[in-house]
Structure 1
Amino acid sequence: MRLILAVALALIAGSVGAETRVPQSRAEISMSFAPLVREAAPAVVNIYARRVVEARRSPFADDPFFGEFFRNFTQAQPRVQNSLGSGVILSDDGIVVSNYHVIGQATDIRVVLNDRREYSASVLLSDEQSDLAILQLDGASDMPHLQLRDSDTVEVGELTLAIGNPFGVGQTVSSGIVSGLARSGLATGNMRGYFIQTDAPINPGNSGGALIDVQGRLIGINTSILTRSGGSNGIGFAIPASLVEQFMAQARAGNDRFLRPWSGFRGQAVDADLSDSLGLALPGGVVISDLHDASPFAEVGLEIGDVILAVDSRPVNTPAEMVYRMSVRGIGARITVDYIRDGSPVEARVTLIAPPEEPAREETVLGRGALLEGLRLARLNPALRDELGLDEGAEGVIVLDPGAVGARVGLRAGDILLSVGRYVIERPGDAARILRQATGRVALQVQRGNRRLALRFRV
């Protein structure tokens, strides 16, 4: 009887204020999401991005013999590549968030609103590692926008709506629940991220769209699905709104690249086997396996072997969670770290800092007449590792640009140059000096990802 009365009252309320009211009770929600969608949908946009890319060159392009036969087939003609996705308006002056993979390297971005208004947009800040980008609509004002919700208040089981433009069919709404939190074992961009999981159907084109709660607040940006067939299997992932808020703040501050706080350590998740060896009652936390001397964590007394359990009372169980917790606080923030040392709980206050430029990069470009003319090298330091998305343990001299000659002998951007002949390379100047003196056959040793390669050529 109470349920019938609640439904009747909800029907009366819906008939009176259906145009403006957002559902406030489970009974109202069970009948219709329409009022909620009417309020939230205008802030979700369609994004059309265009980029110009070089066509793949023929493998015979630089061959002295076969190149003559394939001359007419080796011209790399630029081609236009289009992408389609979604975005969310965050402010009345037209700040929009979307995924990096939707707008990355785009030369032209067009944004279409729910009411069919169109705007061109420029990129304020983008980050491939987090797969997020902040855009500015040109000449926009009085835009509909969504309120951001603190992601730490989201709970498993909450009702959610996913709004986007799947398959380019037009704005579409799907419903579901929050089915998981702190998902960090999945790749986005070029690193492993930290996600909210939902069973609301998400399909290609939904990328960059909104995941909202029953109050119409943004809880995440839809970014990927887990699928074997290419279709939605009810396992979708969204980037938490708290990270989006930090991106927006940095864009407002004038940053064109997202700056993450630097931990200065490498760590690994504590599983059951590792917890036994560390003498922990339960698996959990992140154990410090390597620690830089300039790390802010080392400065307050943390050591290799310490197990970090929480940041600001929020548990961290993977390195990705640690990166997320630091990122949402931002550079200059002071965080509380709870950790275990020799079985005893310890607490420390850590001030988050930007990756330092120490040692100096010593960027070097081999000039005209050099053996590998145009080769651009730099010495790795924390700031450069962060820019390139490299592991904290990456050291040495990195190839920033192989140049035309270096590319022909097999060098690639991102290679770490280990040696030239029998000479170990420790600084960019070493490589420049040795290559100027090289004669005859030259052998380069490089580290490419997890592989060590030997590149040989004749001067």
Structure 2
Amino acid sequence: MKNQVSRRGLMLAVLLAFTASTSAHADMAKRRNEIVEVVQKVSPAVVFIGTESEAESPFRGRRSAMEDFFGTRQRQQGLGSGVIVDPNGIIITNDHVIRGASAIHVVLADGRELEAEVIGSDANNDLAVLKVNSKQPLPAAKLGISSDLMIGETVVAIGSPFGLSKTVTAGVVSATGRTFKADGRTYNDFIQTDTAINPGNSGGPLLNVDGDVIGINTAIFASAQGIGFAIPADKVRRIMDELTRFGKVRPAWVGIEVQALSPRLARQLGWDRTYGVIVSEVEPGSPAEQAGVRRGDVLAEMGGSRISDAEDYVTRARGYPARAAFPLVLFREGNPRTLQVTPVEFPPQLVEALGWNRLGLRVKPTRGAMAIQSVRPGSAADEVGLEPGDLIVRINNQPVAEPASFQEALLSARGTRSVLLLVRRGRYGYHVTLPF
């Protein structure tokens, strides 16, 4: 009798355990939502990025015995996130995460730490491409499409805020095509999200519910809550391709000069919107001229989002490398038109003309600088007293030791109102600001 009771008790216990186990699995199935699936799918491709850089000691000038022993340079550390987008070890992150780093360490999801090299980096678009070497293919995320994003759709961010690796947050797309200013720069065409993004999330992926990378997290408003920004995937793809192939974003030529659209001028043109710019000049033979852009056109949208002002247009145009076509919506004679514009590499002969027409200078390389050959009479350079034989050492704090760097500095200055030159005459150097 006792044996029968014992067997019944054992069977009941097994039945209860089986029922509990089945119930737990059933509960997990219910709890396994789209966010859980995204995290399980993509988190192996998200990496932690640690950097090291050297900085001058704050005690410089009053050395101690300790400093005599250890030196006067201190090692600083930074942190951020990144995402593997190619099994061969290609990683996307932010430029500001790795800028100035003397060493970059990448920690993979399996705990391995690898040294990374910089394939290319671009501060204007705040993107960098890194490469790590692994004997086996690495888990990689798919770089998706951002042009079809819907306001309100669910998005997920994975990163390492404050060094807390594999932190997951979720929210929605709050807006697209956002433009904002920070640290003296204008950033445009961003995805705005209420997904919690904190320091250390920079460079990590913003994902849709399919697990596709639709943005690279890059910025927050420190004084606000629920406002974060990500670089859209379509832009990431363009810049990544340029950085991978050339190590930098090559200056491209569109051939449009624009100016602010005043309310009075807008009324005269029949334009009743609060955004847009007017085309003041179309360069002959340029991609813009070939596409059909004319002087006096109102440029309303570029790449699918509105153009807020002249600075916004210039900054956004720099985000399109050579051969990367974009749609341009313009307003002419009361009618909207959509044109397809394809930038090309900036013609070298036009760079020389840029220096002569805007600065009034012709230069040649000499002794690690660019020597002024001639000064155009009546130009801004002539008015401040620049003379043949003066040496231009830097433009906007960018060294110009050879023609290529001089050309690049001039191209980078397009769209700005002035340039800062460091000029050397004899033993003396001085700064000169010229309108551009």
Give TM-score, length-normalised by structure 1: 0.69
**Matches for 1:25-424 after TM superposition, within 5 Å:** 33-55=35-57, 77-139=72-134, 141-187=136-182, 190-228=185-223, 233-253=225-245, 255-267=246-258, 275-293=266-284, 295-311=286-302, 314-318=304-308, 322=313, 330-346=321-337, 348-357=339-348, 358-360=350-352, 362-365=363-366, 375=393, 383-386=408-411, 389-393=412-416, 415-416=420-421
C-alpha change, 1:37 and 1:356, in structure 2 (3 Å) is same
Larger deviation, residues 291-300 vs 206-215: 291-300
C-alpha change, 1:53 and 1:28, in structure 2 (3 Å) is same
* SS, match of residue 242 in structure 1: helix
> 2 CA distance for matches of 1:258 and 1:140?
30
C-alpha change, 1:333 and 1:98, in structure 2 (3 Å) is closer
Pairwise CA distance, 1:135: 0.3
- Counterpart of 2:378? none
Larger deviation, residues 372-381 vs 179-188: 372-381
Give TM-score, length-normalised by structure 2: 0.72
Pairwise CA distance, 1:343: 2.8
Pairwise CA distance, 1:243: 1.4
* SS, match of residue 186 in structure 1: strand
Query: For the Cα contact (< 8 Å) 1:184–1:194, is it kept in 2?
Result: yes
> 2 CA distance for matches of 1:302 and 1:227?
40
Larger deviation, residues 71-80 vs 201-210: 71-80
> 2 CA distance for matches of 1:297 and 1:56?
51
Counterpart residue type for residue 214 of structure 1: V
Query: For the Cα contact (< 8 Å) 1:287–1:308, is it kept in 2?
Result: yes
- Counterpart of 2:432? 446
Query: For the Cα contact (< 8 Å) 1:88–1:97, is it kept in 2?
Result: yes
Pairwise CA distance, 1:316: 3.2
Query: For the Cα contact (< 8 Å) 1:269–1:317, is it kept in 2?
Result: no
- Counterpart of 2:358? none
C-alpha change, 1:328 and 1:151, in structure 2 (3 Å) is farther
* SS, match of residue 276 in structure 1: helix
> 2 CA distance for matches of 1:316 and 1:115?
43
> 2 CA distance for matches of 1:416 and 1:57?
32
Counterpart residue type for residue 55 of structure 2: V
* SS, match of residue 152 in structure 1: coil
* SS, match of residue 155 in structure 1: coil
> 2 CA distance for matches of 1:97 and 1:359?
32
Pairwise CA distance, 1:248: 2.6
Pairwise CA distance, 1:221: 0.5
Query: For the Cα contact (< 8 Å) 1:96–1:134, is it kept in 2?
Result: yes
Query: For the Cα contact (< 8 Å) 2:156–2:208, is it kept in 1?
Result: yes
Pairwise CA distance, 1:171: 1.7
> 1 CA distance for matches of 2:264 and 2:217?
35
- Counterpart of 1:64? none
Counterpart residue type for residue 47 of structure 2: V
Larger deviation, residues 172-181 vs 243-252: 243-252
* SS, match of residue 191 in structure 2: strand
C-alpha change, 1:288 and 1:143, in structure 2 (3 Å) is same
Larger deviation, residues 103-112 vs 279-288: 279-288
* SS, match of residue 142 in structure 2: coil
Query: For the Cα contact (< 8 Å) 1:193–1:320, is it kept in 2?
Result: no
> 2 CA distance for matches of 1:159 and 1:305?
41
C-alpha change, 1:327 and 1:140, in structure 2 (3 Å) is farther
Counterpart residue type for residue 392 of structure 1: G
> 2 CA distance for matches of 1:373 and 1:324?
30
> 1 CA distance for matches of 2:138 and 2:184?
29
> 2 CA distance for matches of 1:148 and 1:283?
34
Query: For the Cα contact (< 8 Å) 1:243–1:327, is it kept in 2?
Result: no
C-alpha change, 1:287 and 1:112, in structure 2 (3 Å) is same
Pairwise CA distance, 1:142: 1.7
> 2 CA distance for matches of 1:326 and 1:376?
25
C-alpha change, 1:217 and 1:323, in structure 2 (3 Å) is farther
C-alpha change, 1:339 and 1:290, in structure 2 (3 Å) is same
Counterpart residue type for residue 181 of structure 1: T
Pairwise CA distance, 1:86: 0.3
Pairwise CA distance, 1:91: 0.9
* SS, match of residue 359 in structure 1: helix
Query: For the Cα contact (< 8 Å) 1:49–1:110, is it kept in 2?
Result: yes
Unaligned runs of 5+ in 2: 1-21, 356-362, 372-388
Q: How many residues align?
A: 375
> Identity, % of aligned pairs?
32
Pairwise CA distance, 1:117: 1.6
Pairwise CA distance, 1:269: 6.5
Larger deviation, residues 189-198 vs 115-124: 189-198
Query: For the Cα contact (< 8 Å) 1:97–1:134, is it kept in 2?
Result: yes
- Counterpart of 1:457? none
